[in-house]
């Protein structure tokens, strides 16, 4: 995982656990791991398929810095597009990414009944190239 605080990107190393959701591991416990998140932090989590093989050509920290002004969904899209482009459309492994911004524990007023709040997306910038 990568984290960004006040514009600086850092690697966040988590302990490796059993694959999530597979029935053969259903009875094994998972470890709770604490991460110090502060309002304004951005967290980018991804599988090894995002950085192995062709994905290793993608500068993830630089992409995270360049997309700081974008909605987290758009940052994830930019990263997956960059990895797919580096792999010339042929991924050898699964490539999954999740990006979130931490705003703190306060309650927010959402304007949608489900899915993403489109009023918070960075309109018109999702088509920018990495």
For residue 30, how many C-alpha atoms fall within 13 Å in the half-sphere facing its CB? 13
CB atoms within 10 A of CB 88: 8
User: Taking Cα atoms as reference points, which of 30, 10, 9, 7 lies closest to residue 20?
Assistant: 30
Q: What pLDDT, on a 0 to 100 scale, did the predictor assign at position 108?
A: 63
For the chain, domain boundaries: 2-27+37-106
Phi, psi of 45 (to 5 degrees): -115, 140
Q: What pLDDT, on a 0 to 100 scale, did the predictor assign at position 88?
A: 76
Q: How far apart are CA 43 and CA 4, in angstroms?
A: 7
Mean pLDDT within 47-60: 72
Q: Which sign, positive or negative, has the C-alpha torsion 13, 14, 16, 18?
A: negative
Give me the count of residues in the chain. Answer: 130
What's the CATH code, domain 2-27+37-106? 3.60.40.10
Report the mean per-residue pLDDT for the chain. Answer: 76
Helix ranges (H only) for the chain are 60-66, 72-86
For residue 70, how many C-alpha atoms fall within 13 Å in the half-sphere facing its CB? 21
User: Does pTM top 0.75 for this prediction?
Assistant: no
Cα distance from N-terminal residue to C-terminal residue, the chain: 19
Q: What pLDDT, on a 0 to 100 scale, did the predictor assign at position 107?
A: 64
Q: Is the pLDDT of residue 26 over 70?
A: yes
């Amino acid at each position: 995982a990568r984290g960004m605080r006040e514009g600086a990107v850092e690697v966040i190393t988590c302990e490796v656990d059993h694959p999530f959701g597979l029935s053969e591991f259903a009875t094994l416990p998972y470890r709770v791991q604490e991460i110090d998140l502060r309002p304004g932090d951005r967290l980018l989590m991804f599988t090894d398929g995002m950085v192995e093989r062709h994905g290793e050509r993608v500068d993830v920290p630089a992409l995270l810095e360049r997309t700081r002004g974008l909605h987290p969904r758009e940052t994830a899209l930019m990263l997956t597009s960059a990895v797919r482009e580096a792999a010339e459309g042929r991924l050898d492994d699964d490539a999954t990414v999740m990006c979130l911004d931490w705003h703190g524990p306060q309650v927010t007023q959402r304007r949608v009944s489900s899915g993403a709040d489109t009023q918070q997306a960075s309109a018109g910038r999702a088509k920018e190239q990495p």
